[in-house]
Chain A
Amino acid sequence: MTTALTTSPDAPGVGRADGEYAVRLSHVHKTFGRPGSSAPVLEDINLTVAPGEFTTLLGASGCGKSTLLNLVAGLDQPTSGTIEVPGGRPALMFQDHALFPWLTAGKNIELALRLAGVGKAERETEAERLLELVRLGGSYKKRVHELSGGMRQRVALARSLAQGSNVLLMDEPFAALDAITRDVLHDEITRIWAERKLTVLFVTHNVREAVRLAQRVVLLSSRPGRIAREWRIDLPQPRRIESAGVADLSVEITEELRGEIRRHVQH
């Protein structure tokens, strides 16, 4: 499938495949408040994400993984270091669907299209197409409160895609869902990632989820957040979260994560 979006030439996502990286963080530090007044949240983060790569950022609470995602999204500025996203403003999905309750599902997507500069004539068909993509064709006129949690996250995904960016940042987007719904959404995001050749940076604290989804798992240590270790995962997609391959690697990574957490025991 080719990109269905027709956006202006300067729209995000243009020229993505030519670059060597879709996201690059160099020596990123982040401290809240005055520098030196409190411990850094992120310390010397160096991370390069290749175009079309699916990366999960894994870490215990307090490791600054959401902060990191906010920095990449441009919602916050690093204290020092550089963040490059050559494709322009990336799309961001939250744990909460963050759909606007005063708009229908379809109109939520249309608003994103409109803000991305898509012409009025194409918006409705494009919104319908994106709803079809997340298998919610026919839900155009549904209000947010009429949709289940899983459906809301799928509309939110469609809305993120409507931005036209090929870089998708996801901040624990499935954490609030029940296991079976989450499982289905894992299949959806892997399918859409492959179909649309997206670059995904996915934050989670769920090791199995990280292994189920990613080509690369990046483990962050806590306080300060530093990159502790990385794993490349060559298991073929689509994987099953309960499969032996996913389970084995999850055991290994969980052990490492435990080790990172134990370092914080006060002696």
Chain B
Amino acid sequence: MSSTDTAARVQDQPVDSASVEAGLDALETVHAQRTPASVILRQKVLPPVLGIVLVLALWQLAYSLELTTPDKLPSPADVWHSLTDLWYAGTLFSIIWTSVWRGLSGFALAVVIGTPIGLLVSQVKPVRAAVGPVLSGLQALPSVAWVPAGVIWLGINNSAMYAVILLGAVPSIANGLIAGVDQVPPLFLRAGKTLGATGLRGARHILLPAALPGYLAGLKQGWAFSWRSLMAAELIAASPDLGVGLGRYLENQREFSDMSGVLLGIILILFVGVAIDLLVFSPIERRVLRSRGLLVTSR
């Protein structure tokens, strides 16, 4: 055998693999970078602001060209004056708060009711077969359809308002949780089982945290449904007991044929719905997704 041949035969001897490992770790570690504020401002904030400005400009243009009469299309300035009128009358915040409080407390109740229903349906097969289609069906039904029934059953009062919110939001929240549980990778459940997380411990340590993103999506949608149902209910049901919320304000201004008040009502409803989503749900959702590495920065 030639000497080159023997040299090629590697013998078993220790290699300093610890330093190779440290080198690999250093090479392969990704340093997550946060997007700088200026980029966020340019890419995330500027476009919607420009969009709003464009809508206002078109609106103003339509008004100035007198496409229709001012009592049908008031100018943006008229709507602004309606807003300042409310502000000076001191009723702006009470109107907004009446609806927001009703919406949020109804939503909180929907979470308390919808979550156990979602868990039960996702975990118990016969319950799922029986209740699953009903939940999906309820989600498709506009909850405003429940307003007449709610008024007859409960009277024109807060209970009827809450009933309509619940019927709108509970199915969304339950369905979100069910979808979240269904999307949990089976590998996590197997890993949990080998670690000894079975039964309630499995639900608490593995299943629920794993299902959290789907659940949050359900909560977000549940809020949107709560808010819509409530506005529809306030528009339809009028009673001194209910006070004046945003929906009632909108209907009142229609009765006065106050078009700028009507537009203001619409804008305020839109504003509150979007604001709660942006201030409450989106930050929580982004945080959860980011911490799991699920948020891909689109660049």
Asked if B187 CB lies within 8 Å of chain A CBs, one says yes
Name the B residues within 8 Å of A180 (CB-CB): 20, 24
- Given contacts A101-B293, A115-B201, whether A236 and B12 have CB atoms under 8 Å apart is yes
Contact flags (1/0) for A88-113 with B, using CB distance below 8 Å?
01011010101011110000000110
Name the B residues within 8 Å of A235 (CB-CB): 12
Is there an interface contact between B292 and A98, defined as CB atoms closer than 8 Å?
no
Name the A residues within 8 Å of B210 (CB-CB): 100, 102
How many residues belonging to B are interface residues under a CB distance threshold of 8 Å? 38
Stretch at the interface among A31-39, A183-191, A221-229: A183-191
B132 CB → nearest A CB, Å: 26
Is there an interface contact between A187 and B17, defined as CB atoms closer than 8 Å?
yes
Name the B residues within 8 Å of A100 (CB-CB): 188, 191, 206, 209-210
A135 to B25, CA, bound (A): 10
Smallest Cβ-Cβ distance to A90: which chain B residue:
B194
Is there an interface contact between A184 and B205, defined as CB atoms closer than 8 Å?
no
Contact flags (1/0) for A52-76 with B, using CB distance below 8 Å?
0000000000000000000001010
- Given contacts A89-B196, A98-B190, A243-B11, whether A150 and B292 have CB atoms under 8 Å apart is no
Name the B residues within 8 Å of A111 (CB-CB): 195, 197, 205
Asked if B10 CB lies within 8 Å of chain A CBs, one says yes
Is there an interface contact between A243 and B29, defined as CB atoms closer than 8 Å?
no
- Given contacts A73-B194, A102-B292, whether A244 and B10 have CB atoms under 8 Å apart is yes
- Given contacts A89-B196, A244-B9, whether A102 and B28 have CB atoms under 8 Å apart is no
Asked if B40 CB lies within 8 Å of chain A CBs, one says no
- Given contacts A115-B195, A187-B17, whether A150 and B187 have CB atoms under 8 Å apart is no
Name the A residues within 8 Å of B205 (CB-CB): 111, 115
Stretch at the interface among A140-148, A199-207, A255-263: A140-148
Docked complex: A238-262 residues within 8 A CB-CB of B = 238-240, 242-246
Is there an interface contact between A184 and B21, defined as CB atoms closer than 8 Å?
yes
Name the A residues within 8 Å of B28 (CB-CB): 148-151
A247 to B294, CA, bound (A): 42
Asked if B137 CB lies within 8 Å of chain A CBs, one says no
B7 CB → nearest A CB, Å: 11
Is there an interface contact between B13 and A240, defined as CB atoms closer than 8 Å?
yes
Name the A residues within 8 Å of B32 (CB-CB): 146
B interface secondary structure, majority: helix
A243 to B239, CA, bound (A): 88
A229 CB → nearest B CB, Å: 23
Smallest Cβ-Cβ distance to B208: which chain A residue:
A102
A236 to B13, CA, bound (A): 9
Asked if B22 CB lies within 8 Å of chain A CBs, one says yes
Partner of A244, one of B11, B15, B24: B11
Is there an interface contact between A143 and B291, defined as CB atoms closer than 8 Å?
yes
Is there an interface contact between B194 and A89, defined as CB atoms closer than 8 Å?
yes
B273 CB → nearest A CB, Å: 29
Name the B residues within 8 Å of A159 (CB-CB): 195
Is there an interface contact between B29 and A240, defined as CB atoms closer than 8 Å?
no
Name the A residues within 8 Å of B212 (CB-CB): 102
Asked if B286 CB lies within 8 Å of chain A CBs, one says no
B190 CB → nearest A CB, Å: 6
> Top 5 closest A-B pairs, CB basis?
A145-B293, A148-B28, A98-B191, A187-B17, A101-B292
Q: List 8 A-B contacts (CB under 8 A).
A: A100-B209, A116-B196, A135-B22, A146-B30, A148-B29, A149-B28, A243-B10, A244-B9
Binding site for B on A (CB under 8 A): 73, 75, 89, 91-92, 94, 96, 98, 100-103, 111-112, 115-116, 135-136, 143-151, 159, 163, 180-181, 183-184, 187-188, 235-236, 238-240, 242-246
Binding site for A on B (CB under 8 A): 9-15, 17-18, 20-22, 24-25, 28-30, 32, 187-188, 190-191, 193-197, 201, 205-206, 209-210, 212, 288, 291-294
Q: Give 14 A-B pairs besides A111-B197, A135-B21 with Cβ atoms closer than 8 angstroms.
A: A75-B193, A94-B191, A102-B212, A115-B197, A144-B292, A145-B292, A145-B293, A149-B28, A150-B25, A181-B24, A188-B17, A240-B11, A240-B12, A240-B15
